[in-house]
Amino acid sequence: MSAPNTQGGSPVSTVALKLVMAGSGLALAAFVLQHMVGNLQVFQGRETYNAYAEFMQGLGGIKWAARAGLLGVIGLHIVSSIALTRRNKMARPESYSALKNRKTGLPALLMLEAGIVVLLFVVYHLAHFTLGVVHADAGFDLVDGSRRDLYNHFIRSFSPERWPVVLAYLVANVALAAHLSHGIQSTFKTLGIAVGRWRKPLELVGPAFGLLILLGNCAMPLAVLSGALAEESSQHSPTADTQGADPTTAKEAESR
């Protein structure tokens, strides 16, 4: 009896799909690391953090190319994961409960669920910090001279009275850490490099990376919640508020 055709008539091979999923996953992990390292500058204070944010926003064409690239990579990751899940089901029509009984860790079992949580978080997160559609009263419009005061917006967003926002960020980052932990482990297997004496050390990279992202990303909202990070006012203008700010400047900041 011949093996079932798990490609379902598709011209794309399963190996190619796995490589797309692995490559896009690694690119997204690199973005998450870079984003966390950049954001950790919030611990260096308002001037440093706002200067970093301004530098990133001032990248013009590069910024838009990076955004388009990021969107494309997210799309590839989602499409390849859906296609691979369908092929796996065709090749092995085994029930979910049977899979659960196997010796598999929780992150491995909940890859899809964790991925969906992360995706929903990204939509919420963009609505929060990039578009100012949610929690705008936390200071999305704060303008200091010619630029948006992201530092104080950040602090107000995670202040104790906004503990549900902090909770949402913590939950999302637990899901992200679990997804990264297992995803990176699987990627090394897919690429065929987790073999022989490299198997054990490479198996640790995913969980270590997930833990690093979890600690770094959770440290920021928790530092604000605990009062370790607090609002700072401008040295040049006593209030970092929209009061008296040039309305065109405020509009420019909003368009970010």
Q: What six digits make up the tokens of 248? A: 């065109």
In the complex, the smallest distance separating the C-beta of residue 82 from ligand HEM, rounded to whole angstroms, is 19
DSSP 67: H
130 binds ligand HEM (CB under 6 A): yes
Q: Please tell me whether residue 190 binds ligand HEM under the rule CB under 6 A.
A: no
The Cα-based distances of 180 to 52, 98, 104, 160 in angstroms read: 26, 24, 16, 29
Q: Is 159 in the site for ligand HEM (CB under 6 A)?
A: no
Q: Interface with ligand HEM includes 176 (CB under 6 A)? A: yes
The residues in 205-234 that bind ligand HEM, with binding defined as CB under 6 A, are 217, 220-221
Of 83, 117, 129, 165, which lies in the binding site for ligand HEM, with binding defined by CB under 6 A?
129
If binding is defined by CB under 6 A, does position 104 make contact with ligand HEM? Answer: no
Q: How far is the CB of 4 from ligand HEM (least distance, A)?
A: 35
- The DSSP letter of residue 147 is E
**Looking at 32, 73, 166, 225, which residue binds ligand HEM (CB under 6 A)?**
32
Distances (CA, A) of 218 to 40, 150, 211, 253: 10, 18, 10, 27
Interaction between residue 191 and ligand HEM (CB under 6 A): no
- Distance, CA of 184 to CA of 240 (rounded, Å): 42
195: exposed, middle or buried (C-beta count within 10 Å: 0-12, 13-18, 19+)? Answer: exposed
Name the one range near ligand HEM by CB under 6 A: 79-87, 90-98, 120-128, 246-254.
Answer: 120-128
Residue 67 in contact with ligand HEM, rule: CB under 6 A: yes
CB neighbours of residue 49 within 10 Å: 24
- Cα dist from 120 to 35, 51, 110, 160, 168, whole Å: 18, 29, 15, 23, 11
Minimum CB separation of residue 122 from ligand HEM in Å reads 5
Number of residues located near ligand HEM, criterion CB under 6 A:
21
CB closer to ligand HEM out of 173 and 186: 173
Does 26 engage in binding with ligand HEM (CB under 6 A)? no
Nearer to ligand HEM, 36 or 202 (CB): 36
Residues near ligand HEM (CB under 6 A) are 32, 35, 39, 53, 56-57, 67, 118, 122, 125-126, 129-130, 150, 154, 169, 176, 217, 220-221, 256
